[in-house]
């Protein structure tokens, strides 16, 4: 048990420290790196609890995909300048919205933790048997039977938001030349070479 | 307390027993790669240092160790030094779950496939960090290219892995190999094997998809500013990743440590030898492709990943699952 608690405190100290660094560090890129460290240590904590599937999914989805996008955005955009204009400029609408969201999340956390406190048999009253079968099997059994509607709805919402994001950035521009692989491959000499007799001192007009 | 020290020592011993052969075989594999490349082009390849040139990589490594490590003045020093360490660590950490035979595996975890997938998707950080911290335009462009490429091809690798998992019914790498005792998955899932192989090429930035380090456009991509041992670490990590992808391919499709046919003269060859032979076979294909295929253009690469491989593997997923469902072959779990 000693090794277990040593590792638990190791990962949780890293998680708390790095989440503090995310909001306090001056450079945005360091914030993102600390966020990644935070995700990784939270994933390790999940694995220590025995939720190995969730831990791995956190690593794959958050660290392997979402945080890469964060890094991309931070590296490509000039975030420092943006930040300056938010905090120095007077008409900042971001801070109140951020405050509202964080208060809401805090309230939700309080409700969840409080529920746990007042209904302590919540875990044991579940119909699932936690010891016999592996974590992944349990999730699969619940997700595709009891919660199939929510699961599918979440998928549809994600798909919709993806299509929405594509539509928002999609812009049809005129005069852009596109390569068609089919045309490029199916070219042959008779369709692409034309022989013309050119009169001297007069050019030939070639249409595009 | 004594118990803990003993367990710890035991684990360290086991880890060293795994790591040292991997590092040696990475060195040998670099030699094999250059040798195959040379032979395809009617050159001899490295053949001077040691017998058949086998010690060439060691000589190169020695050279790298004694070279000076130059850190650019405008680089972000911490991230710059961290990047090759991250690359190499992640490439070696993944080997913990690879089973060389039924008993010979460092940690036999329930979610082995997910672990491999997670670690290989973390590999992109070494490259992004190296490219960004160099504070120079070629490394940055190379890093961005490489990150986009790796993220895109991971998606199709994920769906290919789901195809295999549907036939197995478990995320454990041992179970995946044992499920292939009657029929290797390369036969029913042959198109998936081909796509997996090509995606593995793209995932490890090997030619013909070595756009992050396309010499003509980007000098040496994200490695441009690196020198000495730090460059060598990137390089070791890259080859360890390639070996890992070969091991993954042989576990998922070529039956891991299982012999080709289970009859007398063939099945006395020990299991790890089969595994190594299969890894070497896949690596030979990697090396051959490096020599014979010209580099892709970047838009072609992205088109291949998103518009061809992704839809194709999704359709194949539907086909596999409907086949398994219709003929009642879905794996029944032990619960």
Q: Residue A86: pLDDT band by 50, 70, 90 thresholds?
A: low
Q: Measured between CA atoms, how close is A197 to chain B, in angstroms?
A: 37
**B29-59, pLDDT tens digit by residue?**
988 898 888 889 888 888 888 788 888 888 8
| Number of structural domains found in chain B | 1
Answer yes or no: do A68 and B128 touch at CB < 8 A.
yes
- From B300, which residue of chain A is nearest by alpha-carbon distance? A181
Q: Do B111 and A63 touch (CB under 8 A)?
A: no
Q: State the Cα–Cα distance between residues A201 and B79, nearest whole angstrom.
A: 65
Which residues on B lie below 8 Å from A127 (Cβ)? none
Q: How many CB atoms lie within 10 A of CB A192?
A: 7
Q: List, for residues B154-166, the tens digit of each pLDDT value.
A: 888 999 999 998 8
Q: Assess if residue B1 is contained within a domain.
A: no
Separation of alpha carbons A94 and A91, rounded Å: 9
End-to-end Cα, chain B, rounded Å: 38
pLDDT at position A18 is 93
Give contacts of A52 with chain B, Cβ < 8 Å: 109-111
CA separation for the pair A128, A159 (Å, rounded)? 31
Residues of A in contact with B299 (CB under 8 A): 179
Q: Which pLDDT score is estimated for A13?
A: 94
Best CA proximity match to B203, nearest among B163, B263, B164, B160? B160
Say whether residue A83 is in contact with chain B using an 8 A CB cutoff. Answer: no
Assess A52–B contact: CB distance below 8 Å, yes or no. Answer: yes
* DSSP alpha helix (H) spans, chain A: 2-24, 28-49, 52-57, 67-76, 79-88, 94-118, 135-143, 148-169, 181-185, 189-192
B282 Cβ contact list (under 8 Å, min separation 6): B197, B245, B246, B249, B250, B254
Tell me how far apart the alpha carbons of residues B213 and B215 are, in angstroms, rounded to a whole number: 6
Write out pLDDT tens, residues A109-121: 888 888 777 766 6
More confident residue, B282 or B101: B282
Report yes or no: A64 at the B interface, CB cutoff 8 Å: yes
The parent domain of residue B202 ranges over 67-326
Q: Which of B222, B248, B235 is nearest to B136 (CA)?
A: B222
- Kindly determine whether residue A72 and residue B144, on different chains, have CB atoms separated by under 8 Å: yes
Query: Is B128 close to A36, i.e. CB distance below 8 A?
Result: no
Cβ <8 Å between B117 and A71: no
Which of B110, B121, B335 minimises the CB distance to A64? B121
Which residue in A56, A71, A179 is closest to B128 by CB distance? A71
Residue B16 distance to chain A (closest CA, Å): 21
Distance (Å, rounded) from C-alpha B219 to C-alpha B215?
5
Q: How far, in Å, CA of A131 to CA of A129, rounded?
A: 6
CB contact under 8 A, B335 and A36: no
Q: How far is A133 from chain B (nearest CA, A)?
A: 6
Q: Which candidate, B211, B212, B195, B284, places its Cα nearest to that of B246? A: B284
Average pLDDT of every residue of chain A: 81
Q: Distance, in angstroms, between B147 CA and closest chain A CA?
A: 8
- Select from B98, B89, B100 the least CA-distant residue to B116: B98
Q: Kindly state whether residue B174 falls inside one of the protein's structural domains.
A: yes
Model confidence at A91: pLDDT above 70: no
pLDDT above 80 for A179 = no
Better-predicted residue by pLDDT, A44 or B215: A44
List C-alpha distances in Å: B164 to A80, B82, B323, B325. 46, 35, 13, 15
Q: How much is the pLDDT for A163?
A: 93
Tell me what the mean pLDDT of segment B173-200 comes to.
Answer: 89
pLDDT number for residue B317: 92
- B42 in any annotated domain: no
B328 φ/ψ sector (left φ>0, alpha ψ -120 to 50, else beta) = left
Distance from CA of B211 to the nearest CA of A (A): 18
Map out the domains of chain A as residue ranges: 1-78, 128-170
Model confidence band, residue A153 (pLDDT cutoffs 50, 70, 90): very high
Question: What's the token pair of residue A58?
Answer: 């956190």
Share of chain B above pLDDT 90, in %: 16
Which residue has 């005069």 as its token pair?
A175
Block residue for tokens 């000499």 = A189
For residue A130, pLDDT beyond 60? no
Determine which helix (DSSP H) or strand (DSSP E) holds B14, and give its type and residue range: helix B2-40
Where b means 16+ CB within 10 Å and e means fewer, B263-278 reads eeeeeeeebeebbbbb
Mean pLDDT of A42-47: 89
Spatial separation of the C-alpha atoms in residues A137 and B18, rounded to whole Å: 31
- Contact yes or no for A3 and B4 at CB 8 A: yes
pLDDT in tens, B288-310: 998 888 888 888 888 888 889 99
Q: Which of B30, B23, B18, B5 is nearest to B283 (CA)?
A: B30
> What sign results for the dihedral spanned by CA atoms B272, B276, B279, B282?
negative
* Interchain contact A132–B (C-beta under 8 A): yes
What is the model's pLDDT at position A92? 65
Are the C-beta atoms of residues B221 and B134 closer than 8 Å to each other?
Answer: no
Backbone phi and psi for residue A11, each to the nearest 5 degrees, phi listed first: -70, -40
Query: Domain for residue B155, yes or no?
Result: yes
pLDDT at A126 over 70: no
Q: Which of A64, A75, A179 sits opposite B118 (nearest CB)?
A: A64
Chain-centre distance for alpha carbon B177: 18
The token duo for A112 is 């969840």
Q: Which of residues 120-139 of B touch A (CB under 8 A)?
A: 121-122, 124-125, 128, 132
What single DSSP character describes residue B134?
T
Q: What is the pLDDT of residue B215?
A: 66
> Which chain A residues are within 8 Å of B117, Cβ to Cβ?
56, 60
Instruction: Return the residue matching tokens 């599918």.
Output: A152
* Mean pLDDT along residues A49-73: 86
Which among B109, B151, B335 is the nearest to A137, CB-wise? B335
CB of A61 within 8 Å of any CB in chain B?
A: no
Q: Which residue has the higher pLDDT, A76 or A83?
A: A76
pLDDT per residue as tens digits for the range B54-105: 888 888 888 888 988 888 888 888 888 889 999 999 988 988 898 888 888 8
N-term to C-term CA, chain A: 77
Burial A61-98 (b: 16+ CB within 10 A, else e): ebbbeebbebbbebbeeebeeeeeeeeeeeeeeeeeee
Complex ipTM more than 0.90, yes or no? no
CATH code at A1-78 = 1.20.120.1200
Which two structure tokens, joined as six digits, stand for B263? 């009859």
């Amino acid at each position: 048990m000693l090794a277990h608690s040593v590792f638990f405190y190791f990962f949780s100290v890293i998680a708390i420290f790095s989440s503090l660094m995310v909001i306090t560090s001056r450079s945005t890129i360091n914030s993102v790196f600390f966020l990644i460290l935070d995700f990784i240590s939270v994933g390790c904590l999940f694995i220590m609890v025995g939720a190995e599937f969730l831990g791995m999914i956190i690593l794959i989805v958050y660290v392997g995909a979402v945080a890469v996008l964060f890094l991309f955005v931070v590296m490509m955009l000039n975030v420092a300048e943006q930040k300056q204009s938010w905090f120095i400029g007077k008409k900042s609408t971001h801070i109140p919205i951020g405050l509202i969201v964080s208060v809401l999340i805090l309230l939700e956390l309080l409700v969840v933790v409080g529920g746990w406190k007042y209904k302590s048999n919540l875990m044991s009253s579940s119909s699932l048997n936690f010891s016999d079968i592996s974590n992944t099997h349990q999730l699969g059994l619940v997700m595709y039977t009891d919660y199939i509607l929510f699961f599918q709805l979440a998928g549809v919402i994600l798909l919709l938001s993806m299509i929405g994001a594509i539509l928002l950035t999609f812009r049809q521009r005129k005069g852009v030349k596109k390569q068609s692989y089919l045309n490029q491959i199916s070219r042959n000499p008779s369709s692409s070479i034309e022989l013309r007799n050119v009169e001297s001192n007069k050019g030939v007009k070639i249409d595009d | 307390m004594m118990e803990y020290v003993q367990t710890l020592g035991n684990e360290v011993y086991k880890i060293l027993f795994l790591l040292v052969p991997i590092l040696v075989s990475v060195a040998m594999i670099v030699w094999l790669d250059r040798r195959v490349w040379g032979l395809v082009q009617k050159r001899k390849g490295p053949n001077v240092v040691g017998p058949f040139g086998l010690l060439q990589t060691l000589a190169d490594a020695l050279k790298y160790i004694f070279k000076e490590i130059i850190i650019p003045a405008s680089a972000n020093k911490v991230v710059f030094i961290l990047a090759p360490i991250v690359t190499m660590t992640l490439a070696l950490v993944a080997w913990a779950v690879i089973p060389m035979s039924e008993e010979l595996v460092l940690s036999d975890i329930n979610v082995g496939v997910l672990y491999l997938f997670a670690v290989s998707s973390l590999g992109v950080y070494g490259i992004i960090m190296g490219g960004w911290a160099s504070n120079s335009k070629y490394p940055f462009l190379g890093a961005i290219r490489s990150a986009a490429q790796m993220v895109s091809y991971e998606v199709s690798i994920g769906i290919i892995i789901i195809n295999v998992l549907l036939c197995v019914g478990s995320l454990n790498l041992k179970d995946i190999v044992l499920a292939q005792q009657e029929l290797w998955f390369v036969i029913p899932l042959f198109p998936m094997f081909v796509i997996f192989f090509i995606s593995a090429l793209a995932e490890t930035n090997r030619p013909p998809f070595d756009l992050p380090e396309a010499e003509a456009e980007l000098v040496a991509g994200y490695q441009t500013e690196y020198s000495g041992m730090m460059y060598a670490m990137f390089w070791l990590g890259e080859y360890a990743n390639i070996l890992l992808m070969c091991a993954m391919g042989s576990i998922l499709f070529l039956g891991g440590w299982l012999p080709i046919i289970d009859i007398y003269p063939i099945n006395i060859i020990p299991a790890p030898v089969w595994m190594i032979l299969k890894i070497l076979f896949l690596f030979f294909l990697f090396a051959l492709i490096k020599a014979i295929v010209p580099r892709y253009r970047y838009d072609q690469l992205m088109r291949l990943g998103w518009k061809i491989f992704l839809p194709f593997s999704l359709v194949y997923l539907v086909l596999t699952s409907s086949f398994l469902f219709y003929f009642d072959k879905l794996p029944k779990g032990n619960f």
